[in-house]
Amino acid sequence: MKKISLLFALAGTTASVAMGQPAADLTFNPLPAGDTTGSVTVGAAGVKWVKFVTTVDNTEAASRYLDISTTGPAGGNTEIGVYTEAGALVASNDNDGPGDLSVLTFGTGGSSPTAYPFDGINGDLAAGTYYLALGFWNTTFNPAAWDAFSVSTAAGDIGFLISTGDFVPTPPPPAVSLDPPSWFTHGGTWFGGLAIVAAGGDVAWFSFVAPAGLSATGALDIDVQGTALVPANDTVGTGNTILPGETYYLAVAGGNDATHATPFNTAGGTNTGTVFARVRAWSSDAPSSGDATPPASIDLVDLQTFGLAGGTENVITSAWTMTGPDEVKWFKFTTTADALNASTSYFDIDTDNTSPGGESLIGNLQDTYLGVYDSSGTLRTEDDNDGISNRSAISYGDNVNVRAANVPVAPNLAGEDRNGRDGDLPAGTYYVVVTTFLPTFYADYFDVAPPTNRTAVGDRVLAVRTNFASSSSTASSPGTCSATSLAPARTPRRSTAS
């Protein structure tokens, strides 16, 4: 690979070029393959020009790349633009490079002269003559007549790098295939696979081909439910747009200290163990792993609207004993009036009265997770830590007359004020789900995946605090209902991964 290094320094500035081709400070005719570096000195309110000729089409179809980036000054805030020989703006960029430096990337992208990944996001660049404009922020790139001008007070040397060549893709890593025999014959069914993270820093790789028939009304889901890592069951991954018919690789690393870069460059965290990844897709119908009917739930009593809104707070609680750390508990309530931000009515839900458990331990008794689904099974709200310490709290309605947070017992930390932050709650029937941190609440079909690798057991308390009066004779003020005499809750049906 040939490298050319040039340094050009010239005092003065170049203003907007409204007519005629700009005077180039540097010319590369033709632009060599490989890396070409250079530098121009730009004065205040200045723009400098570099002319280059590419003799080949830099396109994704031809597996060619042409990438341009600024390499300095250190800490500098640059801007760049590319114009055609006729003066039409092709593309411009401000801060897509490291820090406040700039990047334009054409064709396949994929040259790696620096740590910054190039991805061809600016499209193809056909063979021809081009003008590269370089300036400091704030530079304006108008669409025609090479009209680029700056109002920046910054001045100094701007280094640049132009890289071009044939793209040679990095081969994908060995991966566990998650492809089903047919996506839509088995629409909505999970298909999964296992991989082992044997040592800190390892990464589990999975692959699948995105279904070609995926429509705008369908969906594709990916998760790692069923993973069991130690010392913490904590994973991290990254995501982007999925294109039908393309092959994708899923990297699962053991912890939030993992890093991702391209191509196929992922470094894992410190956790080890078994990773279970799964995918599912459906074209336009409901997934088979959800349940369109409401789950069996404990009734928190119907809340009516007789009595003045904004009156005495009515507290309705339900206490129960968790018998397993992956328990998913469902509750039901109905309102016949709206709790709106623009009203004095409110409806607040929390687990603040749950006993302390082991303080500061992830997944202990007080480390709750709370969600609300509407009667169609659509997730409306979820919360982790808005309550006391690691407890959960949701607040609907009145956001003017703020209700103070519940008072914690030391050493617990106070939660958020009850301020209607979760918006309006229109009249209707709702389902509250309580689990231990961290479940997955899916968007519809009452679909909840319980947490794994938790230790919580013991007594929990769910409370509803509202200025709606209660019509139930089983509740006084504050009202209490016992979960022990009511029908047990159950987890929604989920398909077994194959």
With beta carbons less than 8 A apart as the criterion, state whether 237 and 244 touch: no
Distances (CA, A) of 217 to 214, 254, 278, 283: 8, 33, 21, 7
- From-to residues of CATH 2.60.120.380 in the chain: 3-166, 298-485
Mean pLDDT, 10 residues at a time, over the chain (498 residues)? 38 46 96 95 97 95 92 96 97 92 89 59 95 97 96 97 86 86 66 83 86 67 81 68 79 70 67 85 52 77 58 87 86 90 93 74 82 89 93 95 90 92 92 91 82 82 87 39 31 32
CATH T-level topology, domain 3-166: Jelly Rolls (2.60.120)
**pLDDT at residue 129, rounded to an integer:** 97
For 235-303, what is the HEC assignment? Answer: CECCCCCCCCCCEEEEEEECCCCCEEECCCEEECCCCEEEEEEEEEEECCCCCCCCCCCCCCCEEEEEE
With beta carbons less than 8 A apart as the criterion, state whether 289 and 323 touch: no
**pLDDT at residue 173, rounded to an integer:** 85
Dihedral sign, Cα of residue 479, residue 484, residue 485, residue 486: positive
352's CB contacts (< 8 A; 6+ apart) are 387, 388, 391, 393, 406, 408, 415, 461, 463
CATH T-level topology, domain 298-485: Jelly Rolls (2.60.120)
255's CB contacts (< 8 A; 6+ apart) are 232, 234, 235, 236, 268, 269, 270, 271
**pLDDT at residue 241, rounded to an integer:** 63
**pLDDT at residue 483, rounded to an integer:** 32
Question: Residue 20 gets which letter from DSSP?
Answer: S
